[in-house]
Structure 1
Amino acid sequence: MLRSLLIIAAFYSALASSSQEGVLPAGSFTYSSPGAGKSGPVEVIGEAGANGRISRLKVKAFGKEYGLGEGVLEQIPPNTNGVLFSHEAGYPGLGGHTVYITFVFGFAPEIINYATLACSTENDTCALVK
């Protein structure tokens, strides 16, 4: 019985002292995609400050360049360490062709926080949708 308790205690002790995954936040970054359909190539160029927040961000899509203001940048999670691209063909009157760029903060098993920009042909703008 005592031996079983010692084995269990050693197991939990090893768990308590195991290493933990840490974040590697973005510094300056460029993400690109060849695009799909009318989106043309999509490129995201940015830079994060020492505080982990994105301080400069430029999006290229639909043959145009979109700059994003400080108000939008403040809503992107700090220490972003990943970017996802997606798109939809859309319908006239409902946004048209839209490219979604999702900035994520997370670790291997899960995404903890995210913010998504939607850049559309119909609105001719990039806006935060979450």
Structure 2
Amino acid sequence: MRVSKLAKVASIALAFGLVASTPAYAANLQGSGASFPALLIEACKAPFASATAHTYTYASSSSGTGQANSDKSIGDFWMSDGAYTATTKRSSLIHIPLVAAPVAILHNIPNSKTLQLSAATVAKIFSGQ
């Protein structure tokens, strides 16, 4: 039985369309680390799943846990509040700033109702000067 050239092309196009419209596999990524970005990470979960057909779970704990899990290759991604400068850091690790948010500076100065710090003073405090 001979199949026309048009039927062959149509069946190949249909097969390609079915394969191309579905992901080859659905990944479930695992992440861990800082609690600071946890709400943002959770808010992005549904749009990420909708756009990619992949899912992820994030275990919010601490920056130290994220860095330690990175060292041990536990999971697929890790979050930390600060730059990871440890000597155990893998050379393939990429540090990407992800979240920017205000930070409150709390103080305990008796008999003081307000405290006004200049940007330069705040910078010196956080740089240890």
Category of TM-score, reference length = shorter chain: under 0.3
Bigger relative contact order, structure 1 or 2 (CA pairs below 8 A, ≥6 apart): 2
* Larger Rg, first or second structure (1 or 2): 2
Q: What is the TM-score normalised by the length of structure 2?
A: 0.27
Higher fraction of strand: 1
Q: What is the TM-score normalised by the length of structure 1?
A: 0.27
